[in-house]
Amino acid sequence: MPLVQTRGAASAQGFGEFAQAATAVNYIEEVFSCFLYTGNSSTQTITNGIDLSTKGGLVWVKNRDSVGEHALFDTVRGVGNWLTTNSTVAQYASTSTTAFLSSGFSLANGTYVGEVNQSTRTYASWTFRKQPKFFDVVTYEGDGDTNERLIPHSLNSVPGCVIVKRTDVTGSWAVWHRAGGTTTARFFRLNGTAGAGGSLPINQTGMSSTNFGVYYASERVISDSAGVGFNVSGAIYVAYVFAHDAGGFGLTGTDNVISCGSFTTDGSGNATVSLGYEPQLFLAKKSSGTGNWFLADTMRGFTPAAPSGADTFIYLLANTSDAEAGGDAFRLNSTGVDAVTGVASETYIYIAIRRGPMKVPTSGTSVFGLSARTGTGANATVTGGQTDDLVVIKDRVSAVLPLWSPRLAGTGYLGSSSNQAEIAAGITILQANPWDVMDGVKIGTTNSLTNNSSDTYINYLFKRAPSFMDVVCYTGDGVSARVVTHNLGVQPEFIAIKRRSATGNWICNSKLASGDYVRGQGDPNSTATTTNMLGFNSATGANQTLDLTGYVTSTGIQLNVLSQGGSPNTSASTYVAYLFATCAGVSKIFSYTGNGSSQTINCGFTAGSRWVMIKRTDSTGDWYVWDSARGIVAGNDPHLSLNSTAAEVTTDDSVDTDNTGFIVNQLSATNVNVTSATYIGIAIA
């Protein structure tokens, strides 16, 4: 009897599980992971936080640095069986994968180890967990019916893409994509480069929230040497079923996390893909002609335009065994993707997956790491204990700028003590593609900015997360009242903007306890034409009009164009914006008025602050930083100034510990508690 296998021991059980889960809150970080690792030709566990042992799903692995097969393992076919998207070969049997786990999967030194775990080779893995409105894995046995056959799935939504492969004999991968065409004569081969065409073995008319359709009849086969039907009696098939804009995620259950769409380039070869979210994975294929299947993710390098000239798009090809390469065909933005193919009137199909995390953090250590270290003069990785999106590094003993480098800038960096444009970090500062590690950033050799031998350094590493911190890169359009979208999920309370492509002051502002921003126009959502700003690269108080942040919401910030050098929206200029907010028990955007002696700044913490930044706003005052790695204690506390290249100062006791936050003391060395003076800052638990 033909077998149809879906989620759960039986399809009824599977749908029961999904019905119970319908009221649960789902997050993308629970169902998808891109995880990078290095092979060891032994055993290792890949802990990516995805529950495969009880929920089920797919693991897709590809060697990055040399030729190697794509290897696809799923929980339905079993851990010892793998397929490759760049070939028509039947299913392989392998002993190099050992188990699907509740928080990832494990690898061993077995058959075909070179494809997943060879010593010193680097790998990318993408894990898709079964989840309604996201992804499903289905296997079925052909019954030979020459009419359309409906195969059940458990997406609880109409599929956006279905990929089918016969596993028991040689045969091509058939791809149905919702944007590939509206007739039954449109299909793609995942293992080939041809555009849409031919007779479709997966039928659009059979697509529903419970089924997809396949054919056996001779006219419904893929016309190549591996041509086989997709319902041959006794044949075994696997199908990977992807949802499209189905909602089902986030606190309200309405957020989309996966999109299957298409776009066509304009006369200049450009296009904008509007997703409504920032993607972390992008699989794209030209449908109007011959073209590869490009596979990119933000862990390996998928960034906005880079003034430093680095590749913005590090890709693998799903249809070849080639090592990864770089280019500039697709660029990330906060709401989708910009295509810059340079060829007019080309149409592409794509699958995009939303960036995480979506869950609001509950501990500071999950989103912020810090460490004090001594430089080695040799390549190293600075770690923060989490997958990071921004690093700030300062040499504690030498007069060099504080280096700021976000994942979205690739190899570029800025200095918070300077108005200079973004600089491409040579390999002595940051290694090539420095962010392709799961924890931290890779630094280079013998440069005082990051790793001079015997110099001492402080490292701050931030992870983007809702209600805590976001990074947005954008290109100015020269239009006043322009709104730049962000993904912080709440109204930003501290904003720092810097022009990347040319000289320009840092533009900073912070929300006060009153609801105003520093010397703002009353309502933070005001559309008044001027707002006084601060600048990281200056100790000056808020007594100059650099430019406007006209209004700030949970989804966007409005920018105007003025003549000052700090304009945040000059046409064709590229910018980076750092956005911070108060997150209960994690971070606090604070303001206070000095009392001339000592006072406690209550941040709502329970074990004190690990990081404190303070700036005086009514008069001159540095952007002072203290941290627990160098010491926030009852005695003297080392501090640095983000607006200065100066080495740290260790001879004063301007801050002390307090479980609720921290204590400020009035000393002439820093003047962080002058009577009636006003201050703003950020603290992280």
The stretch 666-675 carries a mean pLDDT of 97
Q: Which of 493, 490, 540, 531 is nearest to 512 (CA)?
A: 493
Residue 414 pLDDT > 90, yes or no?
yes
Instruction: Render the burial of 507-516: b for 16+ CB within 10 Å, e for the rest.
Output: bbbbbbeeeb
Neighbours of 181 (CB within 10 A): 19
The tens digit of pLDDT for each residue in 107-143 reads: 999 999 999 999 999 999 999 999 999 999 999 998 8
If you average pLDDT over every residue of the chain, what do you get? 88
What Rg do the C-alpha atoms of the chain give, in angstroms? 27
Name residues whose C-beta falls within 8 Å of residue 78's C-beta, 6 or more positions apart in sequence: none
Residue 97 tokens, joined? 């994968």
Last residue of a domain, one of 77, 105, 129: 129
Residue 441 tokens, joined? 């950033």
293 lies in the same domain as 337:
yes
Name residues whose C-beta falls within 8 Å of residue 89's C-beta, 6 or more positions apart in sequence: 170
List phi, psi (to 5°) of 14. -60, -45
* Domain assignment present for 607: yes
Last residue of a domain, one of 462, 483, 513: 462
314 lies in the same domain as 349:
yes
CA distance 47 to 102: 9
549 lies in the same domain as 566:
yes
pLDDT reported for residue 2: 38
Instruction: Using DSSP bridges, classify how beta strands 313-317 and 104-107 pair: parallel, antiparallel or unpaired.
Output: unpaired
CA distance 239 to 131: 15
In the block, residue with structure tokens 């911070």: 580
Range of the domain at 120: 27-129
Q: What is the largest CA-CA distance in the chain?
A: 88
The stretch 184-190 carries a mean pLDDT of 71
Do 312 and 325 contact (CB within 8 A), yes or no?
no
The tens digit of pLDDT for each residue in 33-43 reads: 999 999 999 99
Q: What residues does 38 pair with on adjacent strands? A: 122
pLDDT reported for residue 446: 86
69 lies in the same domain as 158:
no
Return the beta strands (E) in 476-521 as ranges. 482-485, 494-499, 507-510
576 lies in the same domain as 592:
no
Last residue of a domain, one of 354, 382, 415: 354
pLDDT reported for residue 18: 38
Q: Is 97 left (phi over 0), alpha (psi -120 to 50) or beta?
A: beta
Do 349 and 179 contact (CB within 8 A), yes or no?
yes
Neighbours of 102 (CB within 10 A): 12
Edge to edge, the sheet with strand 494-499 lists 469-475, 574-580, 494-499, 507-510
Residue 507 pLDDT > 90, yes or no?
no
Residue 262 pLDDT > 60, yes or no?
yes
CA distance 645 to 439: 27
Residue 293 pLDDT > 60, yes or no?
yes
* Domain assignment present for 6: no
Model confidence at 308, in pLDDT bands (50, 70, 90)? confident
Do 161 and 147 contact (CB within 8 A), yes or no?
no
Residue 239 tokens, joined? 């199908």
474 lies in the same domain as 576:
yes
* Domain assignment present for 671: yes
124 lies in the same domain as 51:
yes
* Domain assignment present for 264: no
* Domain assignment present for 486: yes
591 lies in the same domain as 674:
yes
- Dihedral sign for Cα 660, 664, 670, 673, please: positive
Q: Is the previous residue joined to 159 through a cis bond, with omega within 30 degrees of 0?
A: no
Residue 143 tokens, joined? 């019954």
CA distance 680 to 682: 7
Give 40 or 204, the one with higher predicted confidence.
40
pLDDT reported for residue 475: 93
Model confidence at 147, in pLDDT bands (50, 70, 90)? confident
Edge to edge, the sheet with strand 678-684 lists 587-593, 678-684, 611-616, 624-627, 640-641
The tens digit of pLDDT for each residue in 640-662 reads: 999 999 999 999 999 999 999 99
Query: What distance lies between CA 515 and its chain's CA centroid?
Result: 31
176 lies in the same domain as 92:
no
CA distance 145 to 142: 8
Number of domains in the chain: 6
pLDDT reported for residue 5: 36
381 lies in the same domain as 329:
no
153 lies in the same domain as 189:
yes
Model confidence at 8, in pLDDT bands (50, 70, 90)? very low
* Domain assignment present for 619: yes
486 lies in the same domain as 457:
no
Give 514 or 29, the one with higher predicted confidence.
29
The stretch 381-403 carries a mean pLDDT of 96
For residue 288, the SS3 value is: coil
* Domain assignment present for 656: yes
Model confidence at 166, in pLDDT bands (50, 70, 90)? very high
For residue 13, the SS3 value is: helix
Mean pLDDT comparison of 68-72, 432-436, 529-533, highest-scoring range: 68-72
Residue 549 pLDDT > 70, yes or no?
no
In the block, residue with structure tokens 């480098």: 405
Model confidence at 345, in pLDDT bands (50, 70, 90)? very high
pLDDT reported for residue 203: 62
Do 598 and 673 contact (CB within 8 A), yes or no?
yes
Q: Which of 157, 160, 174 is nearest to 231 (CA)?
A: 174
Q: Identity (one letter) of the amino acid at 178?
A: R
Return the beta strands (E) in 153-298 as ranges. 161-166, 173-177, 188-189, 202-203, 211-214, 236-242, 258-264, 270-274, 279-286, 293-297
The stretch 549-557 carries a mean pLDDT of 79
CA distance 21 to 3: 26
pLDDT reported for residue 416: 95
* Domain assignment present for 265: no
For residue 24, the SS3 value is: coil
Residue 227 tokens, joined? 């041509």
The stretch 185-214 carries a mean pLDDT of 77
Neighbours of 273 (CB within 10 A): 21
Q: Percentage helix, strand, coil, to 5, in the chain?
A: 5, 40, 55
Q: What is the DSSP string of 385-412?
A: SS--SEEEEEESSS--PPEEEEGGGTTE
Residue 49 tokens, joined? 């936080």
For residue 421, the SS3 value is: coil
Give 564 or 459, the one with higher predicted confidence.
459
CA distance 291 to 383: 39
The tens digit of pLDDT for each residue in 14-53 reads: 333 333 444 689 999 999 999 999 999 999 999 999 999 9
Q: Which of 375, 442, 380, 459 is nearest to 407 (CA)?
A: 442
